[in-house]
Amino acid sequence: MFVLSKSLIGQKIMSLRTGGQVGVTVSTIINPNNLKIEGFYCLDNQDKKKRLVLLYQDIRDVVPQGIVVNDHDSLTEPQELVRLKDLLGLNFELLGKPVYTQSKQKIGKVNDYATELSTFFIEKLYVGQPLVKSLSGGSLSVERGQIVEITNRKIVIQDPLQGIKDTKPQPAAAPLSPA
């Protein structure tokens, strides 16, 4: 099932063990190499100033009331996550990132994305176009397979209206003769 990024941010984190809220998601931790949400930065309910990390593996379910985890122990201090240290240091943010085609034409900026909940891979980007283009065409959705390159400064996608290469017409195959 796909969900938009805006439905994952600001969600309550609910504990199965206590039945209550243990935190609130603040932002996503995205791996730019494979466009996967590795986890969420969240605020602890017990200490509002404490910023913790909820890894995607610790999420049991996503329901309308919020994100369900086993208990408060699912929230981890960022410095304890040694394997994700480099990724956390990147502070990669997808929203607001400019999108260009391979021919260096600016398409717009990412204003939302859809995530597959079973894998937490980002499957589709929604790109808001500049005012002039939005009057004629509206927003643009970019499938994961159309993405060519992701850097800290931009996202490069395949040219959307790239023509088909000129090919010579091929003769039709001869009909099969009865045996």
Are 137 and 116 spatial neighbours (Cβ–Cβ below 8 Å)? no
What pLDDT does residue 151 have? 92
Q: Whole domain around residue 104: which residue ranges?
A: 98-157
State residue 71's pLDDT score: 93
Domain stop point among 59, 88, 117? 88
pTM for this predicted structure: 0.81
User: Do residues 124 and 112 lie in contact, with contact meaning Cβ atoms separated by under 8 Å?
Assistant: no
CATH number at residue 72: 2.30.30.240
Q: Domain check: are 11 and 78 in the same one?
A: yes
Residues 81 and 145 in one domain: no
Q: Which two tokens stand for residue 175?
A: 């009909």
pLDDT at 133: 59
- Do residues 11 and 27 lie in contact, with contact meaning Cβ atoms separated by under 8 Å? no
Final residue in a domain of this structure, among 88, 114, 145: 88
Asked whether 84 and 94 are in contact (CB, 8 A), the reply is: no
> Which stretches of the chain drop beneath a pLDDT of 70?
131-138, 161-179
* Cα separation, 66 vs 8, whole angstroms: 8
For the chain, report the end-to-end CA distance as a whole number of angstroms. 52
Number of domains the chain contains: 2
Residue 12 lies in a domain: yes
pLDDT at 97: 96
Tell me which H or E stretch contains 135.
helix 131-137
pLDDT of residue 46: 81
